[in-house]
Chain A
Amino acid sequence: MTPRHHSLVGGSVIVLVFAAAMVHSAPPRPRRYVPTATKLAEEAYEELEAHESEERGEALKKFPASEWSQQDEFHNREASVVRDYAKKHRMPVRNVLDAFDRGAHERWPTRDGSVPEQKVIPCRPRLTY
């Protein structure tokens, strides 16, 4: 075989590998966003917001001297609640987050009548992690 043949063989393998990578990583058909019906979204908002006070209390116990850490720990817990709710109600996580967004902007009622805090503590990471 001449060097040209070698380059053809090697080059062909490289091309095949690239093709295989593209095919193997090809996406399924893109999913279209389907908004959740307002009533279901309101239910989601109400149920999720009902956890807020308790979760903030737990976060406060864990970080009594760092306000940003309290907020961050609360959101960690909130994320678990969102994922669990999405799983339980077979709702995409993004739709649950949509419910949060609409609920806050449209002032949907909460179970205990409280208005969830909509201001945030600026990011102040701790000294160590």
Chain B
Amino acid sequence: MPPAPHVLTLASRVYRALRYAAASPYYRGAYFSVLSLIAMWPTLGHANALNDFKDAQYFQLYEEVARLSVARFHQLPLWDPYYCGGLSGVGTPSARFVSPTFLLTLAFGTLRGEALAAWLMTLVGLEGTFRFVRARGGGALAAMMAAPVFALSGVFARSEVLGWTNFFGFELVPWALYGVRLALDGSRRGVVVASVAMAWMIGLGGTYTGPLTVLAATFETLALVVRRARRPRALGLMAGMGLTVALLAASLSAVRLWPIAETLTASPRILGGTPATSLKEAWDFLFGARSAPFWRDDFLVGLPVLPLVALGLWRRRALPLVLAGALSLWLALGYGVHYSLFGVLRTVPPFTMLRAPERFLVFVALALAAIAAIGVRRVEAAARRRPGMGVLALACVALLAGDTALLIKDQFIHAAGRQMVPAPAASDDDFRQMRGNRWLAAYFPYMNRGTLTCFDDYDIAQSADLRGDLPAEEFLRDAGSGTVKRAAWSPNRIDLKVTLTRPARVYVNQNWHPGWRASAGSVVSDGGLLAVDLPAGVHDLTLRYLPRSGVGGVGMGVLGLVAAALLLWRSRRDDLVRTTREWGGTAALCLAPFAAGLLTVGLMHEPRRPPAPLVTPDNEPMIVDAPPAGTTPVNARFAQGILLQAGRVQLEPRSDGRGTRATLELDWRLDHKLPPGLGVFVRFEKPGTQHVGADHVLLSSVMLPEAAPVGRTIRDFSQTITLPPSKEPSTWTVRAGVWWARRDETRLEVIDPGSQPAPDRAVFVTDVRVP
């Protein structure tokens, strides 16, 4: 027999064996386990070190505080007193402890748990991608070999470097989409898979993964609707099953969504900027920049996958994937294209809170993995007709293996770039606040100290009266009224022994939140500080943090898990929902957990967070009938019915000699309600090159422009601006205008500039002479 047939026979046998292995969950599981272990080997090797990157600092703090709450204080991590002077733990959007990976944290500690979580999430992502690709029409072997294209892609390597463990939630995207697809086909198991995946990624701090996956799931639904447009009955069932997925996912994630909604309602995340990605950058992100070491970049899928994508691109079954990939790419380009889809999306809540459009490339990576597998399937089909093609099919698999090797090397390069430092030793001193430092935030829980200075992506409800040097964290300002002694302390509960000779207010050096309750007296917010008004006498005062959203969310989550378990149990007998009656039963089961939420709302009273007082920094009313005396008339009119009536600047020299403090007042009047997205830009200009900007969105730091009343004068005070010192007295010109600060950053047209011209749509407010 000539050698060529030998080779063909061997290739055919090898291919068959590989296909068998890929279809076997055990062999596939073994392959994925080995692959994820190799990819995460450097990460696991440094599992007990602390990631020193700035974002990693506070992500690690959130997780360690949750661990301390459970492991040391035997409480649910509802309140986090270690950051910012105290904030809702479950209401912190990017905290990741409401996830199965928290079990690893509890068992092995925060740092080792984080590395193990990254490894396990990778493993979960590999299997999820396999299933998604299989459901999309990829063969078993091609799906197995293409899974790393997504699950080991650059976004995960990069997330590790930055400590963004919550971004490993993207590993659940294929599970969510796979589940949605099954569910829309009537599968109860699909409802559970999609809901659990969504809840998991939200619990893992899915500030991006959650909203982006909802978009992808919507696309998945629309694609199926188009396919079945001629079967109205099927469409009705699909809509019903889509609703059950939404209900179960909402109840499973209520423990996060409800408190987060409260947090962001009280302190919205205000984002500006017009982030853009060029096509060249998108290419580099996905396939590697030549200038970067080893051609790596942030969403790397690898060049070897491209020929396979080219093969799959023209298959009909790849069409929805091509469309989804193209839409994701369009979104990823942000404001870098003339018609910005990202710009449109940013007008729709909650997508108004998104930045970094390039993160949509995650979905391009998933689409590329699936299209590549479809491409290999095409060659497989050809190989069945012509045995010679078997060698080509093997070559395709080898190409995917080469791509996997490249992605693993990329993981190694990223892992080597992490700033890892020795973990701090822990001690269990009594808790107290210190000024702290958010750039070193991860250290403070180990010291049992809170860091008052902090950062997250939204305006945190933080009292300006917190202090980092108090002799006692619980105290009386009226020292002669009695004594306060701490009896016991834990994050959610503080026990105090209070002896008062007259009624007095007891202060706790933490932020107030509506969820705080007291065993005696009444809880109040004093300048945002937690305080209790008590009558005279001796009190064993217990303060408990028990927010309605947390209790209701936990109740809904537990019932949601029961509903999910019942659905899975039912699916073992018969997975498919076929009739309206069957759907009714499934939907009722998914709706039942909401009873816990309603019951909580009915039974637990909780005060509303009071709105920020509408006053100026001098405690004068912010909304008045006319500009106050002493302001300079401006009378400049902008589009959208906005009138800048007057302005003035108050100066005060700094005591440290570092310049002059300036406070700008702008008095606005509106003809009608403003649309969302506007902001104010301000320039202090000095002849020459110097200028100081004081752009802002919140009027007087408290009111969104769209919430401003019509027909009244709104006094808008800037923050204190420091004008730099100069040897000679100088004159600064103040100009201001209105712009789409939270949209495309264009400036509003000036209809009437007032007394002077308005270059670049910036009207003249006043001149200031600085001595």
A84 within 8 A of B: no
Among B279-287, B374-382, B430-438, B761-769, the stretch that binds chain A is: B430-438
Is there contact, CB below 8 Å, between A66 and B719? Answer: yes
Q: How many of B's residues come within 8 Å of A, CB to CB?
A: 89
Say how far B222's CB is from chain A's closest CB, in angstroms: 33
A contact residues around B423 at 8 Å (CB): 31
B contact residues around A53 at 8 Å (CB): 656
A89 within 8 A of B: no
Is there contact, CB below 8 Å, between A33 and B460? Answer: no
Is there contact, CB below 8 Å, between A20 and B37? Answer: yes
User: In this complex, which of A7, A53, A66, A122 has the most chain B Cβ atoms within 10 angstroms of its Cβ?
Assistant: A122
Is there contact, CB below 8 Å, between A27 and B457? Answer: no
B contact residues around A78 at 8 Å (CB): 437, 439
Is there contact, CB below 8 Å, between A105 and B471? Answer: yes
B320 within 8 A of A: no
Number of A-B pairs, beta carbon distance below 8 Å: 196
Of the residues B273, B462, B692, contact of A123 by C-beta under 8 Å: B462
Is there contact, CB below 8 Å, between B435 and A120? Answer: yes
Of the residues B355, B452, B724, contact of A64 by C-beta under 8 Å: B724
A50 within 8 A of B: no
Among B95-103, B208-216, B440-448, B493-501, the stretch that binds chain A is: B440-448
Of the residues B116, B464, B466, contact of A21 by C-beta under 8 Å: B116
B contact residues around A66 at 8 Å (CB): 719
Say how far B198's CB is from chain A's closest CB, in angstroms: 27
Is there contact, CB below 8 Å, between B692 and A64? Answer: yes
Is there contact, CB below 8 Å, between A25 and B435? Answer: no
A contact residues around B30 at 8 Å (CB): 9-11, 13-14, 17
* In the complex with contacts A25-B116, A97-B447, A101-B434, A127-B425 CB distance below 8 A: no
B contact residues around A21 at 8 Å (CB): 37, 40, 44, 116, 119
A residues 29-77 near B (Cβ < 8 Å) are 30-35, 53, 57, 60-61, 64-67, 71-72, 75-76
A contact residues around B452 at 8 Å (CB): 120
Is there contact, CB below 8 Å, between B425 and A25? Answer: no
Among B21-29, B628-636, B709-717, the stretch that binds chain A is: B21-29
Say how far B742's CB is from chain A's closest CB, in angstroms: 8
Of the residues B48, B458, B695, contact of A127 by C-beta under 8 Å: B695
Query: By DSSP majority rule, is chain A's interface helix, strand, loop, or mixed?
Result: helix
Of the residues A28, A94, A116, contact of B424 by C-beta under 8 Å: A94
Say how far A5's CB is from chain B's closest CB, in angstroms: 10
B contact residues around A123 at 8 Å (CB): 84, 454-456, 459-460, 462
CA distance A100 to B447 in the complex (A): 12
Of the residues B24, B444, B470, B721, contact of A97 by C-beta under 8 Å: B444
CA distance A129 to B454 in the complex (A): 16
Chain B, 680-700, contact with A by CB distance < 8 Å: what is the 0/1 string?
Answer: 000000000000111101000
Of the residues A13, A71, A122, A127, contact of B697 by C-beta under 8 Å: A127
Say how far A33's CB is from chain B's closest CB, in angstroms: 4
B109 within 8 A of A: yes
B contact residues around A60 at 8 Å (CB): 658-659, 722
B270 within 8 A of A: yes
Is there contact, CB below 8 Å, between A27 and B426? Answer: no
B contact residues around A71 at 8 Å (CB): 453
* In the complex with contacts A82-B437, A97-B447, A98-B447, A120-B468 CB distance below 8 A: yes
A contact residues around B461 at 8 Å (CB): 122
B contact residues around A7 at 8 Å (CB): 24, 26
Is there contact, CB below 8 Å, between B425 and A94? Answer: yes
Residues of B within 8 A of A (CB): 24-30, 33-34, 37, 40-41, 44-45, 47-48, 54, 84-85, 108-109, 112, 115-116, 119, 270-273, 355, 421-427, 432, 434-435, 437-440, 443-444, 446-447, 449, 452-471, 528, 656, 658-659, 679, 692-695, 697, 701, 718-724, 741-742
**What are the nearest 7 A-B pairs in CB distance?**
A10-B26, A127-B272, A13-B30, A79-B439, A128-B273, A25-B47, A122-B462
The 12 listed contacts between A and B (C-beta, < 8 Å) are: A6-B24, A20-B37, A25-B112, A27-B109, A33-B427, A92-B422, A97-B444, A98-B447, A120-B466, A125-B459, A127-B697, A128-B273
Residues of A within 8 A of B (CB): 3, 6-7, 9-11, 13-14, 17-18, 20-21, 24-25, 27-28, 30-35, 53, 57, 60-61, 64-67, 71-72, 75-76, 78-79, 82, 92-94, 97-98, 100-101, 104-105, 107, 116-125, 127-129
Assuming A93-B421, A116-B435, A120-B466, what are 16 further A-B pairs, CB within 8 angstroms?
Answer: A11-B26, A13-B34, A24-B41, A25-B115, A65-B694, A76-B439, A79-B437, A92-B424, A92-B425, A97-B447, A97-B449, A101-B434, A105-B469, A120-B435, A123-B454, A129-B355
